[in-house]
Structure 1
Amino acid sequence: MFQDNLTDLLENVQNGALSITDAVSRLKTLPFEDLGYAKVDHHRSIRNGFPEVIYCEGKTTDQIRGIFLVLMRSENNILATRASSENFAGVRQIAPNAVYYQQARCIVVNPVKKNQDANHYIAVVTAGTSDIPVAEEAAVTAETFGNHVERIYDVGVAGLHRLLAQLDRLRKADVVIVVAGMEGALASVVGGLVEHPVLAVPTSVGYGASLHGIAALLTMLNSCASGISVVNIDNGFGAAYSASLIIKEIMNGCQE
């Protein structure tokens, strides 16, 4: 179905029945490829700027492998999140160059280094070491999308001097992703120190009253520091996606 529609579109351009401008608009809404258990969106990068990302939880390894096979025909830097080592073993059977980031639980296939500008970067900051797995999901996602990432880990409010020692790196970042569990106070502190967007990621790290990240989520949502946006609990991917869109706009502005 997908190939038939694409062929018809190209033939219409060739015979003059469709302009190139109209063809590009049509490409943005061309049908997906239906695998039965998944409908693979080939043109998400045209519409949204980045290709479809595979969320592995709840999928079988065979399903994940099938989606990879389809995306590998047209995409580089294919990212899968929340992947297990078993998922990776299955994917590597069809993609020997696949890379598994164990802490981040991410698989990247056909990794291609893009032109990363070290002067424009995303800082990924954690309150504690226990927050690193979520932070690594954010960092790997951002890097897969072609961004330069600076990691600043274990600088929580229990020892604020650790954060202040990194102030220069924080202030030079175009976007700061703050990952924190417990009471989630670090996002407010960082938000009061920098002039760039801060994306806060509450984590499910903490004792009973942290309520699996709800306490940190509510703290971040109620922050008195301006310029803070909050994503869902443990959603490092979502923060990195938003940060990548911000960086993309900045880089487009630099080229104009």
Structure 2
Amino acid sequence: MNPDQVLKAFAAGELTLEQAKSRLLGQSIVDAGCAQLDMHREMRAGGPEVVYCEGKTPEQVAAIFTEIHNHSGRVLGTRARPEHLEGLPEALGASLDETSGLLRVGPDPEPRGKVVVLSAGTSDLGVAEEAAGTARFLGSGVERRYDCGVAGIQRLFSAMDAVRDASAIVVVAGMEGALPSVVGGMAAPPIVAVPTSVGYGANFQGLAALLAMLNSCAPGIGVVNIDNGFGAGFLAHKINMQAVDRD
């Protein structure tokens, strides 16, 4: 019995208050042996529990994926490697995108709204794809415009038409991290900026780009952590859903 069914049964008088509370609490956390899984997160917070695969063994990832799949039929993992895919039961029908490191089970929902993902250079592709794949898995429509950094700014101008009807823009850049400021001065939708660790020595593994984005003079820009495409995609999706539901 899923949470909606429990509540309907309680409303119909088929369950007592204590029985309903017991069932809901019993379903909220599932013990996978190596992890305590929050099965009510999507209902409560607008997005499901996502598996961070880095640092986990293939056996641990398999146990977690199996439990979440049994509950919802769809699972997303980040920072996954081929051995994580190989360790999953074949019946799950999982797929791994090695560019983004996203490990997925289940179909994407029907896309709603629009998130645009812009990247400065091809070297930023992995982080950009993590953002795009996350937003799409969660249910947002996604449009990608890559390799449009400020070193060849004319490439950005041709991408600007795509962002005008977007609910949110994810802007991914390394080196000096200037792209979000430029986009922020040209586009109305809120921007989620993602600094990447792409760059030479004084980039300090993304710290220079992070500080540039935090110090941007263009308003309407929020910044996530270095290389955190997942966090950017998740946030852009939530912004997008607010706009879709308001319409």
TM-score normalised over the length of structure 1: 0.87
Offset at residue 221 of structure 1 (A):
0.2
Where do 5+ consecutive residues of structure 2 fail to align?
none
Aligned twin of 2:102:
106
Aligned twin of 2:49:
52
Instruction: State how far apart, in whole Å, the 1-side matches of 2:121 and 2:240 are.
Output: 26
Instruction: State how far apart, in whole Å, the 1-side matches of 2:76 and 2:184 are.
Output: 30
Instruction: State how far apart, in whole Å, the 1-side matches of 2:187 and 2:240 are.
Output: 16
How many aligned residue pairs are there? 241
Superposed counterparts of 1:164-183, under 5 Å: 164-183=157-176
Aligned twin of 2:111:
116
Task: Confirm or deny that 1:236 pairs with 2:233.
Answer: no
Q: Is the 8 A contact 1:77 1:144 kept in 2?
A: no
Offset at residue 81 of structure 1 (A):
0.4
Superposed counterparts of 1:21-32, under 5 Å: 27=24, 31-32=28-29
Instruction: State how far apart, in whole Å, the 1-side matches of 2:25 and 2:143 are.
Output: 34
Moved over 3 A (4+): 26-31
Superposed counterparts of 1:50-129, under 5 Å: 50-95=47-92, 97-111=93-107, 113-117=108-112, 120-129=113-122
RMSD of the alignment, in Å?
2.4
Offset at residue 116 of structure 1 (A):
1.6
Aligned twin of 1:159:
152
Instruction: State how far apart, in whole Å, the 1-side matches of 2:155 and 2:15 are.
Output: 64
Aligned twin of 2:16:
17
Instruction: State how far apart, in whole Å, the 2-side matches of 1:160 and 1:142 are.
Output: 26
TM-score normalised over the length of structure 2: 0.90
Task: Confirm or deny that 1:247 pairs with 2:240.
Answer: yes
The partner residue of 1:184 within 177, 188, 194 is 177
Q: Is the 8 A contact 1:65 1:91 kept in 2?
A: yes
Residue-by-residue CA offset, 1:72-99 (whole Å, 9 max, x unaligned): 112133100000011111125341x212
Q: Is the 8 A contact 1:28 1:43 kept in 2?
A: no
In structure 2, relative to structure 1, the CA distance for the partners of 1:189 and 1:29 (3 Å cut) is farther
Q: Is the 8 A contact 2:29 2:37 kept in 1?
A: yes
| Farther-moved stretch of structure 1 (218-227 vs 244-253) | 244-253
Q: Is the 8 A contact 1:77 1:145 kept in 2?
A: no
Task: Confirm or deny that 1:193 pairs with 2:192.
Answer: no
Q: Is the 8 A contact 2:114 2:168 kept in 1?
A: yes
Q: Which amino acid in 2 is paired with 1:17?
A: T
Instruction: State how far apart, in whole Å, the 2-side matches of 1:187 and 1:62 are.
Output: 40
Where do 5+ consecutive residues of structure 1 fail to align?
none
Instruction: State how far apart, in whole Å, the 2-side matches of 1:79 and 1:143 are.
Output: 11
